Structure 1
Amino acid sequence: MRWALALLLVLLPSGLLAGGPVIKEIRVEGGATVTEETVEYYLGVGVGDSLDEAAIAKNFHRFWESGLLEDLKVEVEDLPDGNVRLVVTVKERAKVTEYEFKGNKKIATSTLKEKLDTAGISLRRNVPLRQSEINRIRRTILDEYAKEGYLSASVEPVQENVGPNQVKVTFVIDEGAKVRISEIRFEGNQVFSDARLRRAMKKIKERSFLRPWGKKIIWNQENWGEDSENLKKLYLNHGYKDVVIGEPRVELVAKNPDAPTQAKKKFTTVVTIPVQEGRQYRMASLKIEGATVFEEEKLRKLYEVKLGSIYNYSQVEAGNEAVRTLYQSKGYIYAYTSQILRTREGSEDELDVVIQVFEGDRWRLGRLEFSGNTKTQDKVLRREFRLFEGDFMNMTAFKRSLFKVNQLGYFKLTEDPVSFDFDQENRLVNVTIKGQEVGRTDIQFGAGYSELDRFFLQFMFNTRNFMGRGETLGVAVQSGTRADTYSLSFSEPYFLDKRMFIGGSIYKTSYDLLTQNRDAKGLSAVWGVSVGDFGTFSLSYGFEDVFAKFAVVRTVPAGGEPRAPHRRPLPPPYPGMPAPNLYFEEASGVTSAITPAFGYDSRDDPFDPNQGLSYFARIRTAGGVL
C-alpha cells in the first residue's frame, strides 16, 4: 500500500511515529541526475533511519528551493515486514548548456555580459533552468538598452532542446532605434507655464528644430532624478514649500505601428509629469539654534534674505553653506546645518525658518603624509600646503592646498586623493595625500639640413622638477654650418624655503647668412614673490651685447656708387671700386633693461588645464642710467 506523506502529516501528530517504522529503501522515480544520495542529502533521511515525517516535511522545502526540480512528490509505501519504502517522484529542471545573444548590434555581447555581471547575474552553464532568472536577464538587457535610448527594444528568450534534459537559451533582441522625446507635458501646474518648467529641466529636453540630436532628447531615468530636483527647486525658490513632483508617465508613440520591426515603427516618447504646487509662503522669521561657537547675530548676517518676502530655498541654503564654511575653516570639520520650515500659527502663508546648527568637535591636523611621490621630495609638496601639522583643521585652506599641489603639474592627484585617519582621543586628523608622478622632463636630439642654415645638430634638455626638488633647469645647444646657439637657464621657486623665487639664464648666439652676420651674448636674472594664492610679482634684469653686419650693395659699376642691396659684393680689387666699408653696414651695442611684471595663474594644471585663469603683464625699461 502507498500513501502520501502530506496526508500522513495532517492525520498524525508530529513525532507519533518516532521509533516506529524504519526506512528500508528509497526509490527515485523520474530522475535522470537526481539519485538516492541526492534525496538523502536534501531530505536529511537515509536507509535504516526511522521514519520521521516532521523532519522530512521540514527539509521538503529545502529540496524544493534548491532549484533542481520542476515538480516534487514524496510518498511512503508500506512493506510486509512493517517497515516502509520512501518513494520520491521528481521532474527535473532542464540544465542550461549555453546562452546566446542574437540581434544586438548597438551593444556588444561582451558589454551585455559585463552589465549582467554588474547586476549580479552570472551566466553559468550546466545549471538548472529557472524562469525567474531568465526574466531577470531579460529585464536587465532591456534596462541597458533603455539607458542608451532604445526604449522600444524587445528581448525574447527562446529555449531550444539540445539533448536529454538540456536546453540552449537564446535571447533574440530587436534593438529598434533610439527613441527621442517629442513632447514634455505637465499636469496640474498653474503658477508656471509648461515652457517655464521645461526650461528648468537641464538634463532632459524636447526634440526640436534647434535640437535635433543629442543625449538630452533621449529619456533617461537617471537624468530624470536630477531634473525632478531642478523642478522642485524652482518652486521652492518661489515659496512653494509643499510642491510635489510626481513620477512621470513615459509613453511610446509609434508613427507606423504596423511596421514589421521596432525600428521601422518609428517610435517617439511623450513624457507627462504631474505637479501638485500647493500654497505660496512668505518668510516671517529666521532663527538659528544650536550655535555656541559664534554669536547668532554674526551667523545671521551670512543669510542674504529679507523677512516678509517670498521664501527662497536657494537663498537660505546659500547662507547655510556660508555657515558651514565658517565652522569648517575653524576646525569644526563635522559641522552641518539644516533648515526646518514651520507654518506660523494663525497664518496660512507665513513661514518661520529655523536653522539648526550641529557644531561637533574641533579637530587639528595630525600627520600630513604623501603617497606616490617616488621622485618628488615631500618637502616640495608640503610647502604648497597653507596648513601645518598641529593647526586647527581649516578645510578651506586644506582644499586650496590640494589645488596648489595639483597645480604643480608634475605630481597629479588621484581621483580619490585624500585618506583621513581620525584619532578620536586626541581630536587629530591624520591625512595622506595620494598622487602619482607625471614626467615633465624633455630630452631631444636632432640633426637636419635647410637651405638657410645648411647642416646643423641640436640638443635640448628641460625639466620642471630637477632632482625632485621642484626646480626648473634648461639646456639648449644647436651648432651648424651657419649658426650656433647655446643657452642655460635655472629657477628656484622657493628660495630659502620662502614664497620667493629666483632664476637666471645665459646665452650666446651667432650666425652668418652671407648677407648678414649677427653675434649676441647675454644674461638675465629674476627675483619674485608670491602674491596671494595665485599671483606673482617679479623684477628681472637683462643684459645683451650685440654685434651685427649686413650687406648694402650687390654690384658697383666702375666709378659709380653702391646700389641694388641684398647681396654680398664681388671681392676687390676692381678699378674704381668704392672702399670695403661701403660693402657692409655694421651695428653694435649693449642693452641693459629692468622689467617689473605681475602674473596671475589659477589654472588647475599648467599643461592640460580644465579651469582657471592666466594672465601676465610687464613693462620693460632700458637705457638711461642702466
Structure 2
Amino acid sequence: MKFGMKLKHIPLLILALYSTSALAQEPFVVKDIRVEGLQRTEAGTVFNYLPVRVGDTMTEEKATQAIKSLYGTGFFKDVRIESENGVVVVMVQERSAIAQLIFNGNKSFPTDKMKEGLKQIGLAEGLIFDQSMLDRAEQEIKRQYLSQGKYGASVKTSVTPLERNRVAVRFDIEEGAVSKIRNINIVGNKEYTKEELLEKLTLTTPNWLTWWNKNDQYSRQKLTADLEALRSFYMNQGYLEFNIDSTQVSITPDKRDIYITINITEGEKYTVTDVKLAGEMLIPEAEARSLISVSPGEIFNRQRVTESSKAINDRLGNDGYAFSNVNAIPEVDKEKHTVAFTFYIDPGRRVYVRRINLTGNTRTRDEVLRREMRQLESAWYGADKIERSKQRLNRLQYFSDVNVETPAVPGTNDQVDLNINVTERSTGSVMFGAGLSSFEGVVLGVTINQNNFLGTGNRVAAQVNTGRINTVYSLSYTDPYFTPDGISRGFNVYHRKVDTTYLRTGDYKTASYGAGVNFGMPLNERDFVSAGLTFDYTDVELSSNSPPQFKRYCSSSEDANSCSNSSWFVNLAWTHDTRDNIMFPNKGVLQRISSEVALPGLDLQYYKLEYKHAWYKDISKSVTLMLNGEIGYGNTYGDKDYPFFKNFYAGGVNSVRGYEQSSIGPRIYDTQGQYRDFAAGGTKRFLANAELYFPIPGMKDNNALRLSTFIDAGSIAGDGIDESGACIDSRGQVSGCPYSTSLSDIRYSTGIGVSWLSPFGPIKLVLAKPLNKQDGDRTQMLQFQMGQQF
C-alpha cells in the first residue's frame, strides 16, 4: 500500500482533491515511522507534528493533516508521505538556513543596526530563509533611506547557496545624495504673505540650521503635520471655511531636488454671534459658562472652542463622569459670515474606580505608590484626583515614566479600573570626585545617596565632599511617612568646614559639628510645614588678614583670633508648592517661608528669616517663564553680637550671575579706614530673577536639557553698616564708603544659560554680563556648576 502525496506550493483545493482520491486506499496499522531528508531539524520535531504513532491506524485524512502541519512549520519546502509494508516514510526537503547577512555600501546605518532591524521582521543569521521576508527587508531598507531624504537610494539583493543547505544573503546599497526641498509654494493666500505662512511650517528650504534639524528633508508625516498647522492657524484667525484644496510634491529626475506646492482657499473671516448651553446640566450653568472662553462679538477661534469643550469635560470628570461628551455645534450663516455655538453636554453615566492596578515597580513597594494616590478604590472617579496622583508619583523622582489608563470594566457601564504603569529609574548613586564649579574648583570626595532605600521610599544619604571652600561630612535619614498621615521624620549628623580665603569675603575659617532631628507635616495637597531642632558647635578661626569687624566678634575670648560657640537652634518652615515638576517645572508656584532661631541660654542669640516666591508659567508647550523673588533678614535679639558667619551673601551661579561668588555687598575697612577688597556679607538680602526657558533650537523637547535667557538683580546690606549706609570701622567710627551699601544699591546682570540633568549629575553653564558694574566689583562672565543640586 502506498500513499503517493506531495505538497509543494500547491493550492489547498488541489490538495483536497488529491487526498480524496487516496481515500480509496485501505487504512493500515503503523508498524514504524521513518523520516528521511533531515539535515538540521531534529527528528523529534517531525514526530511532534505527526497525528499518528506506532500502533495507530493510518488513514488518508491523517496523512493530509500531517503534510499540512509539517509544511506549516516553515522548516520544509517539500513534504511527502509514503508507506512500505506498514512503515510510514516521511520524506522532507528542508528550507535553506541563512548563514550570512552581508551589507555593502551602507554608510548612514551601521551594519549591526541593520541586522538588528531586519531581525525584527524575521530575517537574521540562523533563521530559515524566506524569499518573502527578503522582499520585505528590501522595501524596509528603502523606506529607512527615504526617511532620511535619500530618494535616489537603491537596494539590490542576491542569494548565494552554500554547503549544508545554507545561503548567504547580500545587500548592495547605493545610498545616493540627500534630496533637499528647494521651494515651498503656497497658492491662494490673500490675507497673509507667503513668508508669514511658511513660518508656521516645520518643513523649510535649506538654511544655516537645517544641517542639524533636517527640516529641509521631505517626509509625508511632516507635510501632513504642517498642513494641519496651517489649517489651525487660519481657523484660529476666524477663517471657518478655510480649505486645503490640494498638495503637489514633485522631484527632479536626478532625485536631488523636491518642490512642494500647497493650494488653499482662505474663505471669509467669521464672527461669533452667540454662545449657548444645552443638554444635561449637572454643574451650575454659571460655572459651565465660566469655563467657556468663547464670547459673542469675537472673531472665531477654533482653539478656544476646543479648549472650552475640554474644560467642561474635565470639570464633569472631577465629579465622576469619566465618559462625558461636550460637543460644540456650530450654526453657520454664510451670507453674514457669522457663527453661533451651542455646547451640548452629555455627561453619560457616573462611574467609580473598581481597582487600582500597579505594574512596573519591580523594586519599589506597592505601598510607596499607593500612599501617593489621591484617587481611592471604590470611590467615584475623579479626573483631578487621578492627575494629582500622577503628579505626586512623578515628584518622587523614582520613575522615569508614569503612564495612567482608565479602561472600562468589561460587563459594566459604571466602573473603570485605574491602571498605573511606571518605569523605574535608578534612585541610588555613588559619586567619586563628582563636583566641579567655577568658584570651588574641583570638589573631591564621595557621596552615597539612596532616595528609595530598599524600595521603602525612605531617604538615606552619606556625604564626604572636600572643596577648597567647603568641606562636608554628613549622614542623614528621612522617613517621609513616619505616620500614615504623611508626617515625616528625619535625623542628621554633620561636620562642616568653611575656608573663605578664596572667596575674598574676609578671611576666616569655621569648623561646625552638629546633630539634629526634624519633622514635617502636610497641611493639604499643596502646603507643608516643617520643624527641626539642631545642636551645633562651631569653632571660628581668624587670621591677621581678618577684618576688624570679625575680630570684634571674638574680642571677648582669651584668644582674639579664635572663639567657639555652642547653640541650640530651631528651624521652622512653611512651603506652598504647586509645581508640576521639581527639576524642570513648566507651571506652578513655589513659596517658602523659613526661619532659623538660636534658643537663649547658650552662646548665640540670633534669628534669620527668609522668604522665597517662584512663579512658573508655560507660555507654550516648550517655553516656560520663571519669575523668582527672595528676601532675607537676620538680627540678634540679645546683648550678643550677630554671628558674622551667618551672614547672607549674593553673587554667583545661583543668585546674581555674572558677579563672582559672594562678591556683592558691603566692603570691609581696616582700623585705619583703608579699603580692602573684601565682601562682608550682611544681614539683609534681596534677590530677583526673571528667566525664560526653552528647548535648544532644532532639537525635540528634552526633559533633561534646556536653554534659558535671564535677568538677575540682587543686593546685600547689614552687618557693619549703620542706618545711613555708611561703613563703620572697628572703633565704631563712621568712615566714608566708596560704594553705597543699602538695599537700594542693586546689581543687575543678564545672559544665557543651559541646564542639563546629565548622567554625572546636574550641570549648569552660564554666560552672563553685568549691566551696572561699579568700580571694585568682581565679575565673571563664564560660570558653571556640576555635580551639585540646583
Q: Does 1:465 find its partner at 2:467?
A: no
Q: Percent identity?
A: 23
- Report matched runs for 1:471-550 at 5 Å: 471-474=458-461, 487-507=474-494, 520-530=512-522, 533-547=525-539
The 8 Å contact of residues 409 and 605 in structure 1, kept in 2 or not, is answered as: no
CA gap of 1:42–1:390, structure 2 versus 1, over 3 A, is closer
Match of 1:242 in 2: 241
Given residue 389 of structure 2, which amino acid in structure 1 is its aligned partner?
S
TM-score by length of 2: 0.52
Q: Does 1:181 find its partner at 2:181?
A: yes
Match of 1:624 in 2: 637
Given residue 542 of structure 1, which amino acid in structure 2 is its aligned partner?
T
Q: Which deviations, in whole Å up to 9, do the C-alpha atoms of 1:192-238 show, x marking residues without a partner?
A: 2211211112x322222465542222111111221111111111112
390-399 or 530-539, which deviates more = 530-539
CA gap of 1:121–1:310, structure 2 versus 1, over 3 A, is farther
Structure 1 residue 180, shift from structure 2 partner: 2.3
Match of 2:204 in 1: 205
Q: Quick one: distance in 2 between partners of 1:546 and 1:112?
A: 64
Bigger relative CO (Cα 8 Å, ≥ 6 apart) = 1
CA gap of 1:107–1:377, structure 2 versus 1, over 3 A, is closer
CA gap of 1:347–1:116, structure 2 versus 1, over 3 A, is farther
CA RMSD of aligned residues (A): 5.0
Given residue 497 of structure 1, which amino acid in structure 2 is its aligned partner?
P
TM-score by length of 1: 0.64
Q: Which deviations, in whole Å up to 9, do the C-alpha atoms of 1:346-375 show, x marking residues without a partner?
A: 844122323333311111122334334455
Q: Quick one: distance in 2 between partners of 1:277 and 1:115?
A: 44
The 8 Å contact of residues 147 and 221 in structure 1, kept in 2 or not, is answered as: no
Q: Does 1:353 find its partner at 2:346?
A: no
Structure 1 residue 37, shift from structure 2 partner: 12
Structure 1 residue 126, shift from structure 2 partner: 6.8
Question: Quick check: which has more Rg, 1 or 2?
Answer: 1
Q: Quick one: distance in 2 between partners of 1:397 and 1:624?
A: 46
Q: Quick one: distance in 1 between partners of 2:421 and 2:10?
A: 59
Match of 1:366 in 2: 354
Q: Does 1:268 find its partner at 2:257?
A: yes
Given residue 149 of structure 1, which amino acid in structure 2 is its aligned partner?
G
Q: Quick one: distance in 2 between partners of 1:186 and 1:506?
A: 69
Q: Quick one: distance in 2 between partners of 1:104 and 1:445?
A: 41
Structure 1 residue 592, shift from structure 2 partner: 3.8
Match of 1:564 in 2: none
Q: Quick one: distance in 2 between partners of 1:40 and 1:586?
A: 106
Match of 1:107 in 2: 109
Q: Quick one: distance in 1 between partners of 2:488 and 2:11?
A: 83
Structure 1 residue 317, shift from structure 2 partner: 0.9
Match of 1:226 in 2: 225
Q: Quick one: distance in 1 between partners of 2:142 and 2:426?
A: 45
Q: Quick one: distance in 2 between partners of 1:508 and 1:495?
A: 26
Structure 1 SS opposite 2:150: coil
Q: Does 1:148 find its partner at 2:148?
A: yes
Q: Quick one: distance in 2 between partners of 1:138 and 1:317?
A: 44
Q: Quick one: distance in 1 between partners of 2:322 and 2:449?
A: 42
Residue 396 of structure 1: which of 384, 406, 410 is its match? 384
- Report matched runs for 1:20-99 at 5 Å: 41=15, 44=18
Structure 1 residue 322, shift from structure 2 partner: 0.6
Given residue 41 of structure 1, which amino acid in structure 2 is its aligned partner?
L
Structure 1 residue 142, shift from structure 2 partner: 3.2
Residue 408 of structure 1: which of 396, 400, 408 is its match? 396
Q: Which deviations, in whole Å up to 9, do the C-alpha atoms of 1:257-302 show, x marking residues without a partner?
A: 5xxxx7xxxx232211111223332222223332332354542332
Q: Does 1:289 find its partner at 2:302?
A: no
For this pair of structures, how many residues does the alignment match? 493
The 8 Å contact of residues 406 and 416 in structure 2, kept in 1 or not, is answered as: no
Q: Quick one: distance in 1 between partners of 2:211 and 2:431?
A: 48
Match of 1:565 in 2: none
The 8 Å contact of residues 551 and 584 in structure 1, kept in 2 or not, is answered as: no
Given residue 151 of structure 2, which amino acid in structure 1 is its aligned partner?
L
Q: Quick one: distance in 2 between partners of 1:463 and 1:160?
A: 56
Match of 1:251 in 2: 250
The 8 Å contact of residues 603 and 609 in structure 1, kept in 2 or not, is answered as: no
CA gap of 1:529–1:317, structure 2 versus 1, over 3 A, is same
Match of 1:563 in 2: none
Structure 2 SS opposite 1:216: coil
The 8 Å contact of residues 354 and 416 in structure 2, kept in 1 or not, is answered as: yes
- Report matched runs for 1:593-608 at 5 Å: 593-599=569-575
Q: Quick one: distance in 2 between partners of 1:37 and 1:546?
A: 93
Q: Quick one: distance in 2 between partners of 1:46 and 1:462?
A: 75
Q: Quick one: distance in 2 between partners of 1:360 and 1:407?
A: 33
CA gap of 1:342–1:109, structure 2 versus 1, over 3 A, is farther
Q: Quick one: distance in 2 between partners of 1:436 and 1:126?
A: 37
The 8 Å contact of residues 182 and 268 in structure 1, kept in 2 or not, is answered as: yes
Q: Quick one: distance in 2 between partners of 1:217 and 1:37?
A: 50
The 8 Å contact of residues 149 and 178 in structure 2, kept in 1 or not, is answered as: yes
116-125 or 365-374, which deviates more = 116-125
